[in-house]
Amino acid sequence: MTTQQNDDNQNGQQGNEGNPPAPNNDPTLEEVTADRDRWKAISRQNEANYNSTRTELQQFKDAQQSAIEAAKSEGRTSALGEVSTELVTAELRLQAVSAGAELPSLEFLDLNRFTGDDSRPNSDAVKSFIDSLPKQNSGSGFPHLEGAGHNKGGNGDFASTDPTELADFIAGGSFL
């Protein structure tokens, strides 16, 4: 090999001796246009797929949210249904005490009659029932005691707080 051929081989160039020229690989205008149109169609299809998937995802999210709200509502209703009799009993007792009415035995009452549509106590139904009950004595349950309270009563003859004088006064002077 000659020095020039070595230099050409080192520079990465091959000699064209005996090799036919390489065919031209440049695409034609029709091929480029067809390739562009193919990629446009693929892009439009991907965009349509994205939009439909996004719409479907939003529908799933909406359905999931409504299912969560329905489950919460059902749970609340179930829990209130379980404790509704206790809530009605408490409401009946509270309003009876406030109105000064004597509440009959609750075992004979239909407590479901006092619940609303949401399983909570219906205050209006409870109030109308309590208003129909007889009221207790307006006086206190204890008899009035003379001298009770602010030490009212007595004749006011004795005003000393000396213990020996108090003992003489209480005993009427007979023991001390």
Q: Which residue has tokens 């009946």?
A: 92
CA–CA separation, 80 and 115 (whole Å): 10
Which helix (DSSP H) or strand (DSSP E) does residue 160 occupy? none
pTM of this structure: 0.42
Helices 123-132 and 29-99: crossing angle in degrees, nearest 10, is 10
- DSSP-assigned letters across all residues of 43-61: HHHHHHHHHHHHHHHHHHH
Query: What are the tens digits of pLDDT across the range 9-51?
Result: 555 445 556 565 556 688 899 999 999 999 999 999 999 999 9
Average pLDDT over residues 138-159: 56
Label residue 139 by pLDDT band (50, 70, 90): low
**Which pLDDT does position 176 carry in this prediction?**
45
CA–CA separation, 63 and 143 (whole Å): 68
CA–CA separation, 10 and 144 (whole Å): 129
Query: What are the tens digits of pLDDT across the range 63-114?
Result: 999 999 999 999 988 888 888 888 888 988 888 888 888 888 888 888 888 8
CA–CA separation, 156 and 161 (whole Å): 13
Amino acid present at 154: G
**Which pLDDT does position 142 carry in this prediction?**
57
Lowest mean pLDDT among 52-56, 87-91, 146-150, 166-170: 146-150
**Which pLDDT does position 19 carry in this prediction?**
62
Lowest mean pLDDT among 2-6, 121-125, 128-132: 2-6
Tokens at 15, concatenated: 């000699």
